[in-house]
Structure 1
Amino acid sequence: MTAPASRRRLLGASLAVLAMGRAASAAARPLLPAVTRIRLGDDMSRTRVVLESDMPLQEVSAEVVDGLVLDLSFGAVAKVEMTGAGRGLVSQWDFDSDPKGFRDRPRLRLALSGPAEIKARFSLPPTEGAPGYRYVIDLVASRKSPRPLIVIDAGHGGHDTGALGFSHREKDLTLAAALVLAAGLRQSGAYRVVLTREDDTFVALSDRLVIAQAAQPDLFLSLHADSSPNCNVCGASAYTLSDSGTARAARGVSRRASFLRTAAPRQDDNDVDAMLVDLGQRFARNCSARFAAGLLDRLGAVGPLVARSHREAGFMVLLSPQIPSVLLEMGFMTNRLDEDRLADPRRIAQMATAARLAVDDYFAAPRDFASRDVAIVRSR
């Protein structure tokens, strides 16, 4: 046998062994189920969610978070990404298999239109009329009294870094603080919490208002870190809506600005609607000022405050009519001591505890909800 022929035979044998190895590896690799469709049905008192798949789904966990989001995790599943409008108790849903690797399991998230709880969960095999596998979740309206809802807004994110410190970025520090504060509020069991962002993603300012308007919270808190050309300036401050910001919000409502759409007045009686919007704004400004004062008192016990720490501005995140809103500047990125404090998990935990106590103080105080409720009902 010639040398070339021997080499060809050896190469052929090697390729055959490699092909057999690949076939064996493919045979050993488990087939993963794929969610092919999600269906919703029923009404506002009971809603059924059905996940259709080509193989049985294995649920790992299912829980309603803060009465607002149904969060279900599944065992291994083929990559599927879907999202859609809801129905009944579900206002919107999304399912993905975590292609970015942020979670260890695929997850279905159902944004709830009101307090709800899981009544039943079960699997169904294929039938003559339904050839696929089905996983069913039945939701019912909850009779529990809703706890106060708080929206926490971590400033900046994604390509918007915010202020730059000596070794940190504002967007990272605001997110870390928001997550710690949200965890503390949830663990108290007294509040429901919505975050405008939970990771390093960019959320436009108008979208942050859309999130707040859709949730209709009892309180909106935006977290930021300040900067100054004077590196000696340090300490926290809190902003509430200024007179110019109030006028800007009113103009936006009258123009039916998309980010203020839930507060848009009706067309049948503009004078009455304008009066109700004004009542809602007065209520929100009074409550915002009350919360800002309490927040600064609590924060002053654990860290420095700037001079004249309660300030007013027309920041967009403060424009939501009828929603008490405060923007907190936790410190200065341009001051080394402030930056170190905001990057220290222990100090952030102290600030988060102070903020949570301020929230407790705010909701423990007697308040008149009438003006806000009238304005909201009218605007819908």
Structure 2
Amino acid sequence: MVKIMLDAGHGGKDSGAVGNGLKEKDLTLAIVKHIGRLLAEYEGVEVHYTRTDDRFLELSERAAIANKTKADFFLSVHINAGGGTGFESYVHPNANSATIAYQNVIHAEIMKAIGNVTDRGKKRANYAVLRETHMPALLTENLFIDNKNDAAKLDSEQSLLQVAYGHVQGIVKAFGLKKKAKPQPEPQQKSSDGKLYRVQVGAFTDPDNAKRLADELKKKGYPATIV
């Protein structure tokens, strides 16, 4: 079982970067929730969050939550600002080889998913959440909130889903996750000659009569539903 800790940057009194009518804290939470929902489609993964609503957490609290959970991987999602454009990712300057390998894979998948944006590169920084976590940790900066073109993408639910999808595909590749098998539909009853027959038995004004007939058919081994 792989434990993934998802960290939506900022929150509560800390709005993060602001621009073009958008707030970083709202965007990061939306992206993280998409990531968690998509990861739930895979086997052998346990998803945890530092926050799932609009609350303030100190940077040290975020790292402490991940450490207490004994997460296998920490992912902190952010939106950039400062007049640039594009995507970049960060690991700690003392990151081990596993962390760097994860960064390489996840960074590439995010760039592939969001497409047609500037790749600002794989970087290193002494950020608290990267420094204080006890497991491989990655921080992503997804487009610039103060750039009109980037902000237009960030203001689109479809684009946020693409950003999330890139993170998920990166995690899937990095940890070798496999999709859960889809539940198989119930087999339909066939006749002795191998052909499939469908019988529709009229409409009832009395719901009790309809239920009685459905129950009777079920007893005889026929699939019966009331619509």
Q: Deviations over 1:12-39 (max 9, x none)?
A: xxxxxxxxxxxxxxxxxxxxxxxxxxxx
Matched, 1:291 2:102: yes
Describe how 1:233-244 pairs up with structure 2 within 5 A. Answer: 233-242=84-93
Deviation of 1:308 after TM superposition, in Å, equals 4.3
Which residue of structure 2 lines up, in the alignment, with residue 378 of structure 1? none
Matched, 1:220 2:52: no
Do the aligned partners of residues 150 and 184 (structure 1) sit closer, same or farther apart at CA in structure 2, a change above 3 Å counting?
same
Deviation of 1:299 after TM superposition, in Å, equals 1.6
Deviation of 1:352 after TM superposition, in Å, equals 1.4
Counterpart secondary structure, 2:41: helix
Q: Structure 2 regions of 5+ residues with no counterpart?
A: 178-227
Q: Structure 1 regions of 5+ residues with no counterpart?
A: 1-146, 247-283, 366-380
Counterpart secondary structure, 1:214: helix
Deviation of 1:295 after TM superposition, in Å, equals 1.4
Paired with 2:23 and 2:161, the residues of 1 have a C-alpha distance of 19
Deviation of 1:218 after TM superposition, in Å, equals 1.0
Matched, 1:210 2:64: yes
What stretches of structure 1 move > 2 A for 4+ residues in a row?
187-190, 302-308
Counterpart secondary structure, 2:51: coil
User: Sequence identity, in percent?
Assistant: 30
Describe how 1:297-308 pairs up with structure 2 within 5 A. Answer: 297-301=108-112, 302-308=114-120
Deviation of 1:343 after TM superposition, in Å, equals 2.5
For the 8 Å contact 1:236–1:304, the answer to whether it is kept is no
Higher radius of gyration, 1 or 2: 1
Deviation of 1:322 after TM superposition, in Å, equals 3.9
Which residue of structure 2 lines up, in the alignment, with residue 310 of structure 1? 122
Could you state the TM-score of these two structures normalised by the residue count of structure 1? 0.44
Describe how 1:36-55 pairs up with structure 2 within 5 A. Answer: none
Relative contact order, higher structure (CA 8 A, sep 6+) = 2
Q: Deviations over 1:318-354 (max 9, x none)?
A: 0135400000001111111212212211111122122
Deviation of 1:182 after TM superposition, in Å, equals 0.7
Describe how 1:78-117 pairs up with structure 2 within 5 A. Answer: none
Could you state the TM-score of these two structures normalised by the residue count of structure 2? 0.73
Task: Provide the aligned length of Structure 1 versus Structure 2.
Answer: 176
Describe how 1:50-61 pairs up with structure 2 within 5 A. Answer: none
Structure with greater strand percent: 1
For the 8 Å contact 2:63–2:133, the answer to whether it is kept is no
Q: 1:360 aligns with which of 142, 148, 172?
A: 172
Q: Please give the root-mean-square deviation of Cα atoms over the aligned residues, in Å.
A: 1.7
